[in-house]
């Protein structure tokens, strides 16, 4: 005859089990969940049977409220999605009903809570594996350990009790305690979801800040004292380097930026701090012994002649630890970028403790250095370049295959959510799991000599997009593009050398490209040793003949500047009925073409004055001209330029188009 438990006996057993409930763990979970949900993240929860009801109880308390009024928090009970559960179960099998939803709804940094009395439900185990692959934090509420679910979770609250009912009752109490701790943590931070006060959560950069000097001039002669180039008209430009450059790049976006670094007490350290603060970077300075690392480059025509480095081989030590408030600021970030330049910040014990605590909660992107510390376990992404990956992982493979092999080695070694190896002009390769296929993002060739800062630009883009909850593949693909654009615009030196470092077509007015933008464009192209190409015309009704002309012209050099007749000029040349399209619209259409880098309007009958200002190396006309008929040919030859004729598309002209329109009875 089986033993029947009386009500008092059941309550007594429940009381004994509740005494062993891990309240410290629930308090820790409450703080972490408040950070995740308060920062715009999401909780996913799932269970079977009675555990399903408790999981749904948890999500309802978060979306609604436990006691006090607060903002609704994002939480989804996966088992309650009956249409999804039945469809997935029918098509993929019952083991996949939660895992597939995790892949659909989960984003890196989110939390998955799995409830099971036995800890052996296969559909929950599959969900845990899917969540870990996607970069989610996995928590479990289970019965006695050991059990398979606890082994797959980052942390587990295991109720050491007999009987399913008692375990589930303890789980329900744990749910209420957890929700109470979330409310306490949110109240302590006094912030609505996704906000720090009224401001977005910051991007925190952690690492070694350097000071970079560029000495820029022109070289026309050798020194009479020795066969070395003489740099004339030299100008000095100073900017933050290392993690300071990463913070500077991040500060050019809308999100607040905090830099945790260690600055030396010297003149250069003070200059570096002033530069960072002048660009709205909030600096947390831990102080460093020794001197500020300084790198100086002597440059001409967008190329470096010499680099001088004043940096000690000895690793600096921080003068103080992170305070509690500074640690909380890091833990409340939208994302963290570790920009390690091997000078000691990543070895600081308080910094590593904070990063270790942050890794399960928020996206942490780690840009390593051969002399720096190893990434802490659990970071979202590590981004060495090919040379650094070879240093860390070894191996004899070369090229893309070698980089993929090393990414797998580092994925295992660092226990990270992903490894992306940047490959310079060849793009990047991302690996998220040993068994998964690598994502290869090809680079776009750029005819530029200064790649300084390209890695920082890549890292900042990835961290910023992960802060906005992008997928790793999305972030890496976008970062390859932004790094390419950064190099094409002149690299780090262009940040100080020219505030208008974007392509000239973006700096125009209704009267054409601004002078500053055009001058910057021409300087960048000539600095790369490439030729400036110009073409001129009315370009009234743009047709395939125009497109072909401009495409061919652009391929002749490093940029194409179109000299465009303004409306008065066209009217004098073509008659009172022209132009059909006003100058502002003609300029806008031309500027939108990928072949055109700048558009300059002129009001004279010929573009002679514009050409004198531009001094193109090549001046292009279409095939319906002969060189001897081009009025500007002699002018271009004065500075050594050439006038060339490119093939023209037969039967295509604006005048002919207008005539055919009139002949057909249409009105223009």
pLDDT in tens, 313-342: 667 788 888 888 888 899 999 999 999 998
Residue 78 has pLDDT above 70, yes or no: yes
Alpha helices (runs of H) in 304-398, residue ranges in sequence order? 324-331, 349-358, 386-393
Catalytic residue among 214, 348, 456, 517: 456
Ordered structural domains, the chain, with CATH: 8-186 (3.40.50.10490), 202-218+234-335 (3.40.1190.20), 380-493 (3.40.1190.20), 518-658 (3.40.50.620)
Confidence label for 496 from pLDDT (cuts 50, 70 and 90): low
pLDDT in tens, 200-221: 789 999 999 998 888 878 777 8
User: Would you call 596 helix, strand, or coil by DSSP?
Assistant: coil
User: 114 or 517, which is more confident?
Assistant: 114
| pLDDT score, position 196 | 45
The pTM (predicted TM-score) of the whole model is 0.52
Please state, for a pLDDT cut of 90, what percent of the chain lies above it: 35
User: Would you call 116 helix, strand, or coil by DSSP?
Assistant: strand
Residue range 474-497: average pLDDT?
Answer: 78
| pLDDT score, position 487 | 81
Angular region, 135: left φ>0, alpha ψ -120 to 50, beta rest: left
For the question of residue 456 being annotated catalytic, the response is yes
Confidence label for 648 from pLDDT (cuts 50, 70 and 90): low
Confidence label for 223 from pLDDT (cuts 50, 70 and 90): confident
Question: Counting Cβ atoms within 10 Å, is residue 330 exposed (0-12), middle (13-18) or buried (19+)?
Answer: buried
| pLDDT score, position 188 | 46
| pLDDT score, position 195 | 40
| pLDDT score, position 93 | 94
Residue 281 has pLDDT above 60, yes or no: yes
- Listed in order, strand segments (DSSP E) in 108-227 are 111-116, 137-142, 155-158, 195-196, 199-200, 203-207, 209-222
- Average confidence score pLDDT of the chain: 83
Q: Which of 159-163, 291-295, 522-526, 607-611 has the highest mean pLDDT?
A: 607-611
Residue 103 is given by DSSP the state H
Residues in the chain: 668
CA 418/CA 471 separation, integer angstroms: 11
Give 620's Cβ-side CA count (13 Å radius).
Answer: 25
CA 653/CA 545 separation, integer angstroms: 7
| pLDDT score, position 589 | 87
Residue range 240-248: average pLDDT?
Answer: 92
- Closest to 75 (Cα-Cα) out of 107, 100, 111, 50: 111
- Listed in order, strand segments (DSSP E) in 192-272 are 195-196, 199-200, 203-207, 209-222, 229-242, 257-261
Distances, alpha carbon 187 to alpha carbons 30, 72, 190, 196, in Å: 12, 14, 5, 12
Confidence label for 500 from pLDDT (cuts 50, 70 and 90): very low
Confidence label for 399 from pLDDT (cuts 50, 70 and 90): confident
Give the 3-state secondary structure of 73-88: CCEEEHHHCHHHHHHH
Contact 599, 513 (CB under 8 A): yes
Element (H, E) at 296: strand 294-300
Q: Which tokens go with 528?
A: 């790369």
pLDDT in tens, 580-633: 888 888 888 888 888 899 999 898 888 998 999 899 999 988 765 666 777 888
């Amino acid at each position: 005859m089986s033993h029947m438990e009386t009500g008092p006996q059941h309550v007594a057993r429940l009381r004994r089990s509740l005494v062993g409930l891990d309240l410290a763990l629930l308090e820790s979970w409450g703080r972490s969940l408040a950070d995740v949900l308060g920062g715009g993240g999401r909780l996913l929860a799932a269970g079977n049977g009675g555990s399903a009801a408790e999981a749904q109880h948890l999500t309802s308390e978060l979306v609604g409220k436990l006691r006090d009024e607060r903002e609704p928090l994002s939480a989804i009970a996966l088992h309650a999605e009956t249409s999804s559960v039945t469809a997935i179960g029918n098509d993929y099998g019952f083991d996949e009903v939660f895992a597939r939803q995790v892949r659909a709804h989960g984003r890196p940094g989110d939390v998955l809570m799995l409830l099971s009395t036995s800890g052996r439900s296969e559909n929950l185990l599959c969900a845990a594996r899917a969540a870990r692959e996607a970069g989610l934090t996995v928590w479990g509420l289970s019965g006695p350990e050991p059990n398979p679910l606890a082994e797959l979770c980052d942390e587990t609250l295991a109720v050491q009790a007999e009987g399913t009912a008692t375990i589930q009752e303890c789980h329900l109490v744990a749910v209420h305690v957890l929700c109470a701790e979330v409310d306490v943590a949110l109240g302590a931070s006094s912030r609505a979801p996704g906000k720090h006060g009224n401001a977005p959560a910051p991007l925190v950069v952690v690492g070694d800040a350097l000071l970079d000097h560029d000495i820029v001039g022109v070289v026309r002669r050798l020194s009479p004292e020795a066969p070395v180039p003489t740099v004339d008209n030299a100008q000095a430009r100073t900017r933050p380097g290392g993690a300071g450059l990463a913070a500077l790049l991040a500060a050019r976006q809308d999100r607040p930026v905090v830099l945790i670094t260690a600055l030396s007490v010297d003149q250069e350290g003070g200059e570096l701090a002033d530069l960072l603060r002048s660009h709205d970077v909030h600096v947390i300075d831990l102080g460093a012994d020794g001197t500020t690392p300084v790198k100086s480059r002597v440059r001409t025509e967008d190329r470096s002649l010499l680099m001088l480095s004043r940096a000690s081989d000895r690793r600096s030590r921080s003068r103080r630890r992170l305070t509690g408030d500074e640690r909380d600021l890091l833990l409340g970030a939208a994302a963290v970028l570790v920009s390690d330049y091997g000078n000691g910040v990543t070895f600081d014990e308080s910094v590593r403790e904070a990063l270790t605590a942050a890794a399960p909660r928020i996206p942490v992107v780690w840009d390593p250095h051969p002399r720096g510390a190893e990434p802490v376990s659990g970071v979202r992404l590590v981004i060495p370049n090919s040379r650094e990956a070879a240093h860390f992982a070894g191996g004899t493979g070369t090229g893309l295959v070698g980089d993929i092999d090393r990414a797998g080695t580092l994925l295992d070694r660092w226990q990270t959510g992903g490894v992306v190896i940047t490959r310079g002009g060849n793009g990047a390769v991302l690996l998220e799991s040993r068994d998964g296929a690598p994502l290869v993002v090809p680079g776009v060739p750029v005819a530029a000599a200064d790649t300084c800062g390209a890695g920082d630009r890549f890292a900042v883009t990835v961290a910023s997009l992960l802060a906005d909850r992008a997928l790793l593949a999305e972030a890496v693909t976008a970062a390859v593009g932004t790094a390419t654009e950064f190099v094409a615009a002149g690299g780090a030196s262009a940040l100080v050398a020219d505030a208008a470092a974007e392509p000239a077509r973006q700096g125009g007015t209704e009267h054409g490209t601004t002078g500053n933008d055009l001058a910057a464009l021409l300087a960048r192209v000539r600095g790369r040793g490439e030729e400036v190409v110009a073409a001129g015309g009315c370009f009234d009704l743009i047709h395939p003949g125009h497109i072909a002309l401009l495409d061919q012209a652009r391929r002749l050099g490093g940029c194409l500047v179109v000299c465009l007749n303004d409306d008065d000029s066209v009217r004098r040349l073509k008659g009172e009925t022209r132009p059909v399209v006003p100058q502002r619209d003609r300029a806008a259409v031309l500027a939108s073409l990928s072949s055109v880098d700048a558009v300059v309007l002129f009001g004279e009958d010929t573009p002679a004055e514009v050409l004198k200002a531009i001094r193109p190396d090549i001046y292009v006309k279409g095939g319906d001209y002969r060189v001897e008929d081009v009025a500007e040919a002699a002018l271009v030859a004065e500075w050594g330029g050439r006038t060339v004729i490119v093939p023209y598309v037969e039967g295509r002209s604006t005048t002919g188009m207008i005539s055919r329109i009139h002949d057909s009875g249409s009105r223009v």
